[in-house]
Amino acid sequence: DQQVKQNSPSLSVQEGRISILNCDYTNSMFDYFLWYKKYPAEGPTFLISISSIKDKNEDGRFTVFLNKSAKHLSLHIVPSQPGDSAVYFCAASGPGSARQLTFGSGTQLTVLP
Amino acid sequence: DAGITQSPRHKVTETGTPVTLRCHQTENHRYMYWYRQDPGHGLRLIHYSYGVKDTDKGEVSDGYSVSRSKTEDFLLTLESATSSQTSVYFCAISEDRGREPQHFGDGTRLSIL
């Protein structure tokens, strides 16, 4: 049973518009959430994170929103740029000896020029 | 970029042969992780290490073993490779078990024929 779900395998957005990527989780023990970006033939790159004590975290064009009651988080990219085209993974971790990450299956974002 | 080197980057081998993948870090981080990435599954944790000679199993550990004799090296071994272990393998490191994100290497593409 997947504890972290990204239900949209792909998303296309026009350059300059907002990209919204969504992620749902089922494990109420998760207290730290991350977004990673992955280009082909490279490893995932950390993008932004949020702790469960917050509901929003912002870093430049990237904002992550957390709705704990709905067990839902989203990543907003404004404005979207062609270089943002990549696979985006959300991940979650909870209290534990090594803070293992549980990943969603990823969303392929394509930003059209 | 975090100093993480995975070797080899690509490998093709036959069913039943032993395979060892190496992850080398220059960051002196305590935690190291091995993941595999498969279509539709995102990244799944195989094994992790929280110190020299300290390792534990992840979500998909069957058929894999690991060793960590030095802080900088984390080895993943497939004792007798099977076709179901064809995947892309990623190593990650983390500084501590707090709010530090994991940083990933560029992966090893392993094909088992």
Q: In b/e form, how buried is each residue of A26-37, taking b as 16+ CB within 10 angstroms?
A: eeeebbbbbbbb
Q: What is the mean pLDDT of chain A?
A: 94
On chain B, the residues whose CB falls within 8 A of the CB of A51 are: 99
On chain A, the residues whose CB falls within 8 A of the CB of B97 are: 96-99
| pLDDT value of residue B2 | 65
CB contact under 8 Å between B50 and A97, yes or no, is yes
Helix, strand, coil % in chain A, rounded to nearest 5:
5, 55, 45
Q: Which residues contact B58 (CB under 8 A, 6 or more apart)?
A: A100, B33, B34, B35, B44, B45, B46, B47, B48
| Chain B contact for A10 (CB, 8 A cutoff) | no
Given a cut of 60, whether residue A97 has pLDDT beyond it is no
pLDDT digits (tens, 9 = 90+) for B23-62: 999 999 999 999 999 988 889 999 999 999 999 999 999 9
CB contact under 8 Å between A44 and B90, yes or no, is yes
Q: How far apart are CA A107 and CA A88, in angstroms?
A: 5
Q: How confident is residue B1, by pLDDT bands cut at 50, 70 and 90?
A: low
| Cα-to-chain-centroid distance, residue B34 | 3
Q: Nearest CA to CA, how far is A52 from chain B (Å)?
A: 11
On whether the CB atoms of residues A61 and A46 are closer than 8 A, the answer is no
On chain B, the residues whose CB falls within 8 A of the CB of A41 are: 106-107
Phi-psi domain of B9 (left: phi exceeds 0; alpha: psi -120 through 50; beta: other): alpha
| Chain B contact for A99 (CB, 8 A cutoff) | yes
- Chain A, residues 61-80, CB within 8 A of chain B, namely none
Q: Nearest CA to CA, how far is A96 from chain B (Å)?
A: 8
CB contact under 8 Å between B97 and A97, yes or no, is yes
Calculate mean pLDDT across residues A66-72. Answer: 97
pLDDT digits (tens, 9 = 90+) for B69-113: 999 999 999 999 999 999 999 999 998 766 778 899 999 999 999
CA dihedral A35, A96, B66, A37 (to 10 degrees): 0
pLDDT digits (tens, 9 = 90+) for A3-53: 999 999 999 999 999 999 999 999 999 999 999 999 999 999 999 999 999
| pLDDT value of residue A99 | 76
Q: How confident is residue A95, by pLDDT bands cut at 50, 70 and 90?
A: confident
CB contact under 8 Å between A101 and B45, yes or no, is yes
CB contact under 8 Å between B104 and A43, yes or no, is yes
